[in-house]
């Protein structure tokens, strides 16, 4: 394996002790986008006015989740599977804590002088089934995304980044959608089996489409980080078990 002029190709297992200057910032961005997507995007249904078509509703979360997958791609491509897996576990823990604290804060008895409880419940009140489905889908989908990207990087010998960013998103978002929508909405009031499948396929296609559109941005960020860190990581000899957070 060979790197660019200022980039050294290394196996992920040899990265221990390497002075990674930007990893913590990328991890913080990943967790921030993840939490924002669940706070700002989870319950909002927006519409876009399409000429000749009319208004088209969409979940606001679609604005956030593709960005989290791009950052997930960047983490694996630049820092390797083990560090991406660590970030996924950190994100999972942050989601779990946020869900618990949201439940506690909503359940606290409101002051008689405060009239915002109903609005607070509408924004932060959670359906346990949907929260559970969201966390499981995130964990599984992100790990699949990272695994596929890391393996494809080995198969392609580091060439054709677009094939693995898009290919990993097809797989990762597919697993995410296959878990979330049936687990959250199958048999729920107002959701027919056909509607669940339709929304599942639509959201999967939209998320993959987002990844395709953001490919130039991904290239720019990956290239910049590799040059700044001075490494190009390959997951030779990596332990791909999902059930650990150590690197």
Thinking of the domain 8-234, which architecture would CATH place it in? Orthogonal Bundle (1.10)
**Residues whose CB is less than 8 angstroms from the CB of residue 207 and which lie 6 or more positions away in sequence, other chains included:** 62, 65, 66, 69, 169, 173, 177
For residue 163, what are its two tokens? 């094939």
pTM of this structure: 0.89
- Going by C-alpha positions, the residue among 137, 18, 26, 135 that lies closest to residue 77 is 26
Element (H, E) at 141: helix 128-155
110-166 residue pLDDT tens: 999 999 998 888 778 776 888 899 899 999 999 999 999 999 999 999 999 999 999
Q: Tell me, what's the pLDDT at 1? A: 47
Instruction: Give the start-to-end residue ranges of the domains of the chain.
Output: 8-234
CA angle 30, 56, 34 (to 5 degrees): 10
12-49 residue pLDDT tens: 877 877 889 999 999 999 999 988 887 776 666 677 78
**Residues whose CB is less than 8 angstroms from the CB of residue 113 and which lie 6 or more positions away in sequence, other chains included:** none
| pLDDT, mean of residues 94-109 | 92
Q: Tell me, what's the pLDDT at 2? A: 45
65 near 207, Cβ under 8 Å?
yes
57-87 residue pLDDT tens: 666 777 777 788 789 899 999 999 999 999 9
């Amino acid at each position: 394996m060979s790197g660019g002029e200022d980039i050294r190709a290394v196996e992920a297992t040899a990265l221990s002790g390497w002075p990674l200057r930007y990893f913590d910032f990328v991890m913080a961005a990943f967790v921030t986008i993840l939490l924002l997507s669940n706070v700002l995007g989870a319950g909002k249904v927006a519409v876009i006015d399409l000429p000749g078509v009319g208004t088209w509703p969409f979940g606001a979360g679609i604005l956030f989740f593709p960005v989290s997958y791009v950052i997930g791609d960047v983490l694996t491509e630049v820092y390797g599977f083990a560090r991406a897996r660590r970030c996924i576990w950190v994100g999972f823990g942050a989601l779990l804590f946020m869900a618990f604290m949201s439940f506690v804060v909503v359940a606290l008895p409101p002051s008689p002088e405060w009239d915002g409880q109903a609005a607070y419940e509408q924004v932060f009140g959670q359906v346990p089934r949907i929260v559970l489905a969201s966390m499981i889908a995130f964990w599984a989908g992100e790990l699949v995304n990272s695994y596929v990207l890391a393996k494809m990087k080995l198969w392609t010998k580091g060439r054709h980044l677009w094939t693995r960013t898009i290919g990993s998103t097809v797989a990762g978002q597919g697993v995410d959608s296959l878990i979330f929508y049936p687990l959250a909405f199958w048999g729920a009031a107002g959701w027919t089996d056909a509607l669940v499948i339709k929304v599942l396929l639509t959201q999967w296609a939209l998320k993959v489409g987002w990844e395709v559109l953001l490919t130039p941005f991904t290239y720019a960020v990956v290239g910049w980080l590799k040059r700044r860190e001075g490494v190009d990581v390959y997951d030779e000899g990596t332990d791909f078990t999902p059930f650990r957070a150590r690197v």
